[in-house]
Amino acid sequence: MQQFDVVKITKDYPVEGITKGQIGTILEVYDDNHFEIEICDDNGRTLFLGALSKDFLEVVV
């Protein structure tokens, strides 16, 4: 996974309000397993901005 890859959330993370199937963008790569992700709504408003592990992400091709 690389910076600016589009990713799909693979499992719910209710504590952060993230649900499986949401789409986000990798903004920063911290290491091989941790990434800064931004998820926006259809109007471009940020719904989530924070770090997630690779376990929650799948690159959208």
Alpha-carbon distances, residue 27 vs 1, 18, 31, 42 (angstroms): 11, 17, 13, 18
What are the pLDDT digits (tens) for 3-61? Answer: 999 999 999 999 989 999 999 999 999 999 999 999 999 999 999 999 999 999 999 98
What domains sit in the chain, N to C, each tagged with a CATH number?
Answer: 6-59 (2.30.30)
Pairing of strands 46-53, 57-59: unpaired
pTM comes to 0.91
How much is the pLDDT for 19? 95
How much is the pLDDT for 61? 87
How much is the pLDDT for 44? 94
Alpha-carbon distances, residue 2 vs 12, 23, 32, 45, 52 (angstroms): 22, 15, 9, 23, 14
Question: How far apart are alpha carbons 56 and 24 in whole angstroms?
Answer: 11
How much is the pLDDT for 6? 98
